[in-house]
């Protein structure tokens, strides 16, 4: 896999998105060279170990400040010499310095149809607002929380029977197709981040692509 795009994945939990990416490494021409979790003992670490991927825990609770944590995280990520950094359920706000350092090569998946509902509790907020639609977005990470240029989205209809949990589950199913697809575009050098905008195959993406 020597020509494969070197990817570091950051997680904080279960890692079902990580699994979807692990399962498609060959197809996407990527190699996950490291998985870093800010929480110990999460299932995502086991998933990586089962796939013989190097893992590291950097427990944020043992750092005195966000700055100190992110400085160490930045060095740890760099030690893998990645071409792409993927946030797959990584639940920490990053310092502007860290974000700037990896600008244009860091992708995040967020469970809402951004720009709706940046931040936490997106499923509850969509239900409480009486929305008929909900979904997930993949975007380049910039200094604005969940605010970088959106590359692609997947959507579903909210039904009367949906709960926070059912939406979380249904959205993850969509994410497992959406995220690998966008990562594959990046690995194939089809995606570019320039002046806070995204280009796919050299064309400016004026609105997010909808992935079915």
- Tokens 């310092």 found at: 95
- Has 110 been annotated as catalytic? yes
Reading the block at residue 14, the tokens are: 């279960």
What is the three-class DSSP state of 47? helix
The answer to whether 110 touches 137, Cβ cutoff 8 Å, is: yes
- Site pattern 44..63 for ligand GAR (x: CB under 6 A): x-------------------
Q: Which is nearer to ligand GAR, 204 or 210 (CB)?
A: 210
Does 17 help bind ligand GAR (rule: CB under 6 A)? yes
In the list 6, 14, 71, 196, the residue contacting ligand GAR (rule: CB under 6 A) is 14
The whole-angstrom separation of Cα 152 and Cα 190 is 13
The whole-angstrom separation of Cα 191 and Cα 193 is 7
| HSE (side-chain half, CA atoms, 13 Å) at 127 | 13
Reading the block at residue 64, the tokens are: 């005195």
Q: Which is nearer to ligand GAR, 110 or 134 (CB)?
A: 110
Does 148 help bind ligand GAR (rule: CB under 6 A)? no
With CB atoms as reference, the residue minimizing the distance to ligand GAR is 89
Q: Considering the candidates 60, 101, 110, 123, report the single residue annotated as catalytic.
A: 110
Question: Minimum Å distance from CB 202 to ligand GAR?
Answer: 28
Does 89 help bind ligand GAR (rule: CB under 6 A)? yes
Question: Which stretch in 1-9, 15-23, 148-156, 157-165 sits in contact with ligand GAR by CB under 6 A?
Answer: 15-23
The helix or strand, by DSSP H or E, that contains position 95, with its residue range, turns out to be: none
Q: Which of 29, 92, 34, 33 is nearest to 59 (CA)?
A: 92
The whole-angstrom separation of Cα 141 and Cα 5 is 18
**Contacts of ligand GAR in 166-195 (CB under 6 A):** 171-172, 175
List of residues contacting ligand GAR (CB under 6 A):
13-17, 44, 88-89, 91, 109-111, 136, 171-172, 175
Catalytically active residues, by annotation = 110
């Amino acid at each position: 896999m020597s020509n494969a795009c070197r990817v570091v994945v950051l997680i904080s939990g279960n890692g079902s998105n990580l699994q979807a990416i692990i399962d498609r490494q060959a197809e996407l021409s990527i190699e996950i060279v490291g998985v870093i979790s800010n929480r110990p003992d999460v299932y995502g670490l086991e998933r990586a170990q089962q796939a013989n991927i190097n893992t590291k825990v950097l427990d944020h609770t043992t750092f005195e400040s966000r700055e100190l944590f992110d400085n160490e995280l930045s060095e740890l990520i760099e030690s893998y010499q990645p071409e792409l950094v993927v946030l797959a359920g990584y639940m920490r706000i990053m310092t502007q310095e860290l974000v700037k350092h990896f600008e244009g090569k860091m992708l995040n998946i967020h469970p809402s149809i951004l720009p709706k509902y940046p931040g936490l509790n997106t499923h509850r907020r969509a239900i409480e607002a009486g929305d008929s639609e909900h979904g997930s977005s993949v975007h380049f990470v910039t200094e604005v929380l969940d605010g970088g240029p959106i590359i692609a989205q997947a959507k579903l209809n909210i039904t009367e029977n949906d709960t926070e949990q059912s939406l979380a589950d249904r959205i993850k199913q969509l994410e497992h197709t959406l995220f690998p697809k966008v990562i594959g575009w990046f690995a194939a050098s089809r995606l570019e981040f320039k002046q806070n905008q995204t280009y796919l195959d050299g064309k400016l993406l004026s609105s997010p692509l909808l992935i079915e």
